[in-house]
Amino acid sequence: MSIESHTPAALDLLLVEDNPADVRLMHETLTDAVSGQVRVRHAASLTEALCLLGDACPDVVLLDLMLGDSAGMATLDRVVAAAPGVPVVVLTGLAEREVAEEAQRRGAQDYIGKGDLTPALLSRVLRYAVARAHATRAALERQRLEGALLVARTVAHEINNALAPVVGYTDLLSIRPAVAGDAMAMAYVRRIADAGTDISAKVQRLQCIIRLEVTPSALGPDQPLLDVERSGDAGASAGR
């Protein structure tokens, strides 16, 4: 049985186990369980595991909770904190079902009893653990995107509301005799009107992105969504 779907073609697995016999057993079982390339990094202690996680996060962690320098849920808590989002599969003894279920409540994706270990079971557990972690990350990314879009919609709406009287009063000023007959005053009015038009165009482009009609890259390198330098120059010129 192969590990498929959301699992990378070359699986990077971190095995955290301090019992040499269990390490050999896991290597043999992994060889039979995983069809394709698998890279197994081994840590014999929590300290070593945290160092390896700091170097590069694996696709999945196989974790024995009872290590020489850490025991129980504290081991899991440290690993989950060091590699958030990385699926952790806990290795347990035969009489540790309650411990395994508590581990799942505290962030482990799944657990395997060492006495029940077979290539088929290991393959299935790893496949589902990686797939569930992928689905969770995708859901969180979607939530973040939806939150950002909501903020963008609100900002665009508020900018349009604030811009409406600016444009309206600029039009009224331009037709007043006292302003229309003053070249400098009319120049200021035109600059305000141009700035309003520029802001309105940027808001429209932002709204297009919100509606997913275009992506930021589709605007082109010469079409920044917000040209801060240009807006600043326009404001400085208007103030002179």
* Average pLDDT, rounded, for the chain: 81
pLDDT bucket at 76, cuts 50 / 70 / 90:
very high
Of 60-74, 154-168, 219-233, the range with the highest mean pLDDT is 60-74
pTM recorded for the entire structure: 0.61
H helix or E strand, kind and range, residue 36: none
pLDDT band at residue 227 using 50, 70 and 90 as cut-offs = very low
pLDDT tens digits, residue range 113-130? 888 888 999 988 988 998
Residues 73, 103: contact at Cβ < 8 Å?
Answer: yes
pLDDT, tens only, 34-57: 766 788 999 999 999 999 999 999
- Asked if residue 152 has pLDDT above 60, the reply is yes
Most confident stretch, 1-15, 180-194, 211-225 = 180-194
pLDDT of residue 146: 82
Question: What is the layout of strands, in order, in the sheet containing 11-16?
Answer: 38-43, 11-16, 60-64, 88-92, 110-113
d(CA 112, CA 26): 11
Q: How high is the pLDDT of residue 226?
A: 43
* Strand, coil or helix: 88: strand
